[in-house]
Amino acid sequence: MIGMKIKFLLGLVCMLLLAGCSTMDAVTGQQTRNFYSLQDDVDIGTQVYSGTIEEMRARGIKVNADAARVAQLKEMVRRIKSVSNLPDLPYEVALIQTNVVNAMAAPGGKIMVYEGLWNPKDGLVKDDDELAAVLAHEIAHVNCRHSTEAMTRNMLPSLMFMGGAIIAQAKDREDIAQALSGVFVVYNGIWVTRYSRMDETEADTVGLMYMAKAGYDPRAALRIWERSAQHRTGADPASSIFSTHPADSVRLQNLRAKLPAALAAYEASPYRKKL
């Protein structure tokens, strides 16, 4: 009886989710599944952005203390978002002044850049074009709506695995419940990261075009990953299957294939003509 009720509820939830999550991808123009609205992206991103800044300040980490660098980031974001597919989102950028080599984008256009990107030894960027490549990649994630699409993708499998485990436990089948838990771990380890790697590749491609259209040299994106590949010499390529990011060599191959189109967009950029 318990199992039938759980199955019914899971089936009902699945049907509701499938019925209400088809939307148009602003970048590709194709139908995609996203249970969240664009306003949901903005609301979620605002919470993540505000929460991260509050947490950093609570730990004594400075935020936006370098006025010149913040102004540079804002201008770059302004240019790149203006050529993006969703230019009207409420974009914001914050400089987190800690030696972490990273940048991240929350849904809805909230971007956080960590000062470690410019670290002379371990940093990722050496000039303005390379910084623009990083920002364009993050803005591409926002426009492709990768975060909420991933949340949508993971919703149904999570419910199904959880429901199956509950049914098994209700029937005193602990062996099945444990097996389902194991399958769920594998699912998250391979299929979820597989989608994440696909998202990263798409963000590389879209970001390359965004930076070029905004008047930044797209060859800078290749320099970043060439430098990254050199830093990781000796790493096991086989481990890439469990990574949320593609191997640097794969990223480079993809970017090289897209470079001619990006260079054409760069040459035609109205921003270059203003310089």
Domain boundaries, the chain: 36-274
- Do residues 41 and 108 touch, judged by C-beta distance below 8 A? yes
Task: Indicate the pTM of the whole model.
Answer: 0.77
Please state, in angstroms and rounded to a whole number, the distance separating the CA atoms of residues 110 and 50: 9
Torsion, CA 66, CA 134, CA 213, CA 215, rounded to 10: 50
104 strand-pairing partners: 112
Going residue by residue through the chain (275 aa), what tens digit of pLDDT does each one get? 444 444 444 454 555 455 456 688 889 888 888 888 999 999 989 998 999 999 999 999 999 999 999 999 999 999 999 999 999 999 999 999 998 888 999 999 999 999 999 988 888 899 999 999 999 999 999 999 998 888 877 665 544 444 444 444 444 444 444 543 444 344 344 333 444 778 888 999 999 999 999 999 999 999 988 887 676 544 444 443 344 556 767 888 899 999 999 999 999 999 986 65
| Candidate list 92, 115, 138, 202, residue with the active-site label | 138
Distance (Å) of CA 252 to CA 2, 218, 259: 52, 12, 10
Tokens standing for 79? Answer: 């240019």
Tell me what pLDDT residue 238 has: 44
Tell me what pLDDT residue 90 has: 97
Tokens standing for 69? Answer: 């660098």
Does the active-site annotation cover 138?
yes
